[in-house]
A and B are shown apart, each in its own frame.
Chain A
Amino acid sequence: MRSWARFALLLLTAAVLQRGLLSQLRVADVSVDSFLLLAVAAGITGGGDRGAVVGFFSGLVLDLLVQTPLGLSALVYCLVGFAAGRLHGTVVRSNRALPALLAAVVSIAGVGLYAVIGELVGQVGAVTGHLPTIMAVVGVANLVLYPVVRPVVTWAWGDEPGLRPARR
């Protein structure tokens, strides 16, 4: 199976999970964002270029499921996927916990970026007093879930171990 087909399958699974389960499992009225996690994981495992593409489609699927402006999630998640890949290329990779930490940090930044750009494009109430809670919960959730999602995303790339593209 080609990697784009595997990612299509992953996106469909994420959509079903997000809609049927994850959006209902809320902590402090915040749910896990599986699409953001997918974008970040794709960036870290596949590099900035491929992370941006997966992030774009991941955001686009989310945009079609919700009522927020179409293209907003696609724009933010593509930047997040790109940033995750680029940043992962610049950090020392000897520490196994570092990618998960990076996933959390990039996710927090992604939520903040979403809120700011959202306000700019007319999404009323994106920047509220609840925003720090959303950032914190999504960050912690992605820190915990990244090690679970990483092998699945690596499978989706279909690269042989050791033959992944050089990180920039």
Chain B
Amino acid sequence: MAVSRRTGRSRFTLFLLILTSVTLLTLDYRGFEPIDRARSAVLSAFEPVGSFASDTFEPVRNAWNGAFSYDELAKENEELRLRVDELEGQITSGEVAKQSLRQLLEQADLPFVDNIPTVRARVISGAVSNFDRTIEIDRGERAGLRRGMPVVTGQGLVGRVVRVSGDRAVVDLLSGGNFSVGFSVVGTNVLGVVRGQGDGQRLLGTVDVDRLVSPGQIVVTSGVAGSTFPQGIPIGTVSEVGDDTGSLQRELAIDMLARQSDLSFVTVVLWEPTEP
């Protein structure tokens, strides 16, 4: 009898906890404002603790990386040397390519992101858990950052700011797939939507099936009315074009221009979407 009562109470506790979790999930899904505020408050609270922990544990992290990633680091070092040689030879052609992109953007009447003020930030922490696709940067509200601002590197779009405290911000990476971006194919009037797939450098884009897109074309943020990103931020290059299988949409595989791994510095574009 006692065992039965205890089991019943146990199940009731579990039921209450599950119910609370589901309620929180629902509220978060519906964009309940206090949840965002609570998360920003936690970010603020962890500013000093996080910096202290980060500095304190740095020798441990370095030792760990040295012990477990030696081969990887050696390989990376070798690759970087080769890359430096390659890049030194490509500086001229890179400049030409950059100019070409700029010209293409101008032809398509897209203002380049250079025209918008930016803030440079250092990446101070990667994802906290294995399913989190965010990074934390050392600039926040005091540097003018606000929620929703685009984050880029020299190559292109990386993500967007999702949480801000005084001197910290959390950036949701584009590859994580938590948000989609409207794009246009440079030099054409093709518009589509691109989204991350959870990991890696490859994104999944969709365009209307009657639009012609070829591998190698560059896609940039479209910045159409109501868009959450300004026009003309490079996103990636089309690597594969899906078959027309009777659907109204054609799928595109898009390789991101900006590398998402080993980010050290990023640039936040101080641009907020205008209200429709």
B-contacting residues of A (Cβ < 8 Å)? 15-21, 23-25, 27, 30-31, 33, 48-49, 52-53, 56, 59-60, 62-75, 78-79, 82, 111, 114-115, 118, 121-126, 128, 130, 134, 138, 168
Q: Are B17 and A125 in contact (CB under 8 A)?
A: no
Asked if B57 is at the interface of the complex by the 8 Å CB criterion, the answer is yes
- Main secondary structure on chain A at its contact with chain B? helix
In the complex, residue of chain B having the shortest beta-carbon distance to the beta carbon of A114: B131
**Residues in chain A near residue B22, CB distance under 8 A:** 71, 75
Please measure, in the bound complex, the distance between the C-alpha atom of A33 and the C-alpha atom of B130, giving whole angstroms.
8
Interface residues contributed by chain B, number (CB under 8 Å)? 57
Please measure, in the bound complex, the distance between the C-alpha atom of A49 and the C-alpha atom of B170, giving whole angstroms.
35
Q: Are B25 and A19 in contact (CB under 8 A)?
A: no
Q: Which listed residue (A20, A74, A79) contacts B50, Cβ 8 A?
A: A20
**Residues in chain A near residue B53, CB distance under 8 A:** 16-17, 19-21
Q: Which listed residue (B23, B61, B170, B176) contacts A71, Cβ 8 A?
A: B23
Please measure, in the bound complex, the distance between the C-alpha atom of A16 and the C-alpha atom of B49, giving whole angstroms.
7
**Residues in chain B near residue A49, CB distance under 8 A:** 9-10, 13-14
Given A20-B57, A128-B199, decide whether A70 and B27 contact each other with a Cβ distance below 8 A.
yes
**Smallest CB separation, B171 vs chain A (Å):** 9
- List 24 A-B residue pairs with CB atoms under 8 Å apart, sorted by A's residue number: A15-B46, A18-B128, A19-B49, A20-B49, A20-B50, A20-B52, A20-B53, A21-B60, A24-B125, A33-B130, A49-B10, A56-B20, A64-B38, A65-B128, A66-B127, A67-B178, A71-B21, A71-B23, A73-B129, A82-B14, A122-B29, A123-B131, A124-B177, A126-B198
